[in-house]
Structure 1
Amino acid sequence: FTHSRSSPSCSSSVQLWTLPLPFLSKPRDFSVPNSSWGPEMMRLYEHYNSQCEVEMEGGGKREGLWRKLPSYNRILKYATGGVYLSKIIQSKARLFTRNIREPGAAFEYVLFANSEEQKCVGIFQAGHLLEGPPGHVHGGAIATMIDTVTGTHASMLSGPVMTANLNINYRSPIPLGSTVLLESCLDKKEGRKIIITCKVMSTDGSKVHTETTALFLSINVCHLLERA
């Protein structure tokens, strides 16, 4: 079936690319291997990570086509719409996909970007707290990861963006605890609009779990903060 989430007033959550600035101390990157990562998660991580640097003749190295994107558990101290969060709320606020401390219990993921090919990939291992249908990942958790990967991709292409629409076709359920690959590709840019396609696939590419078309709108962050 098809799941759509429309937001003509652009009231959905903000996707931002510049993440480390709001932190008072050095942030922790959560998109690095930990003891919960399975063999497929590690294999794909090492595959893309090995392409972030290329060895040159003479032993030197240069940047490769791919770049690993860090992931933190905080974004901004401002709520959507520019409303300033109280100190109490601000101190407790956490990025939704990083709000569970137990490694492997929920969203384990890492993103890599290829600016030359205008692609972004996400490696996602679904933990036991993401169960929907018995033994399988909840559709909302899948949509969250699609929004995370495509939103990050769109913000890399056009600066800060907001999700306007996600149209997700669920093709095949994802077994709980398994690892999948999300591939995000730019389809079109028209003014403020960025249209991106995304597939969620098994790690060997033999099965497509979902197909998505996502629409994002570029925004001016100052408009969100002007009432702070």
Structure 2
Amino acid sequence: MARSLGRLFKGFQSPAFPKAMGAELCPATCVSVRTPFVRTILALPSAFSSKPQDFSLPNSSWGPEMLRLYNHYKSQCEVEVEGEEKQEGPWQRLPSYNRSLKFTPAADLCVLPSGGVYLSKTIQSKARLFTRNITDPGAAFEYVLFVNKEKQKCVGIFQTGHLLEGPPGHVHGGAIATMIDTVTGSHATVLSGPVMTANLNINYRSPIQLGHTVLIESSLDKMESRKTFISCKVTGTDGSKLYTEATALFLSISVSHLLGG
């Protein structure tokens, strides 16, 4: 299993899915994973059930500003070169599914070495990413991410749904933190491979109204050994209003770290 996971996690070095990696994970026994939240956003399509849905594509809930920004960045994912076919542009859209990896459990229920019980089939059938666990389009986290490797930047276009309310008529601070963690963590994953959040420091400057679309812009500050330092800001779509500022630290992790306890 460790070897299978090792091959799989090599695919996290790029937001694109490697064509050579099309095999499902082998059936696995249950393992105890006692680590903080682990980034696995760039899972292979073949690791999902039959037809995985990419939730970072336009749907009927997207407002005009969400669509405008999506089309703006999407237009920079391919560029026309005179006399040649379109080539890859500076930006790439990151796909977003409602699950990470799909493991095939060996039993309905197994006992961990630590004595805990892992309800494998129940978890596998119901587990969903926190930001993609509400099926009603536009009700909660509606977002799409684009990354620019050359500039070492990532941008998230985030339309705030009515189920994210904190103060009346405004977005809950935890929902904003979730999206900052999602954007910066996705960026760190593209830069460094599998990572986990070590520190997230947020300064809230102004409340965000429900239903608004905002930009979450992530920039690499530095990389030191296993550490990736990232800065982030949440602004209005024209950049004139600052809602939130943040800094984040992510630690690269190994497969042995994932499986250890």
TM > 0.5 between the two?
Answer: yes
Deviation at 1:22, TM superposition (A): 2.6
CA deviations over 1:162-218 (Å, ceiling 9, x no partner): 000100000000000100000000001011010000000000111110000000000
The answer to whether residue 232 in structure 2 is matched with residue 201 in structure 1 is: no
Is the 8 Å Cα contact of residues 111 and 121 (structure 1) preserved in structure 2?
A: yes
AA matched with 1:57: E
TM-score by length of 1: 0.89
Structure 2 residue 162 is matched with structure 1 residue 125: no
SS in 2 for 1:109: strand
Q: Which residue of 1 aligns with 2:42?
A: 18
Q: Which residue of 1 aligns with 2:101?
A: 76
**Which amino acid is 1:168 matched to?**
I
Range that drifts further, 184-193 or 50-59: 50-59
Deviation of 1:140 (Å): 0.1
Supply the distance in 2 between the matched residues of 1:77 and 1:223 (Cα, whole angstroms).
19
Counterpart position of 2:15: none
The whole-number CA distance in structure 2 between the counterparts of 1:185 and 1:84 is 38
Using the aligned pairs only, state the percent identity.
74
RMSD: 1.7
**What letter corresponds to residue 25 of structure 1 in structure 2?**
S
Instruction: State the secondary structure of the residue aligned to 2:123.
Output: helix
The TM-score with structure 2 as length reference comes to 0.78
Aligned match of 1:224: 258
**Match of 1:40, as an amino acid?**
E
Alignment of 1:28 onto 2:53: yes
Instruction: Compute the displacement of 1:224 (Å).
Output: 1.5
The equivalent position to 1:47 in structure 2, one of 72, 79, 84, is 72
Gaps of 5+ in 2: 1-33, 104-116
2:249 is aligned to 215
1:3 equivalent in structure 2: none
The aligned counterpart of 1:5 is none
Matching of residue 163 in structure 1 with residue 163 in structure 2: no
Identify the match of residue 180 of structure 1 among 205, 214, 221: 214
Runs in 1 of length 4+ with deviation above 3 angstroms? none
> Quick check: which has more Rg, 1 or 2?
2
Bigger fraction of residues in strand: 1
Measure, in 1, the Cα distance between the counterparts of 2:48 and 2:62: 27
Contact 1:189 1:195 in 2 (8 A): yes
Q: 1:65 aligns with which of 53, 70, 90?
A: 90
Separation of aligned partners in 1, 2:162 and 2:152: 33
For each residue in 1:45-70, what CA deviation from the matched residue of structure 2 results, as whole angstroms up to 9, or x when unmatched? 00000000001112520000000010
CA distance in 2, matches of 1:198, 1:85: 37
**Which residues of structure 1 form unaligned runs of 5+?**
1-9
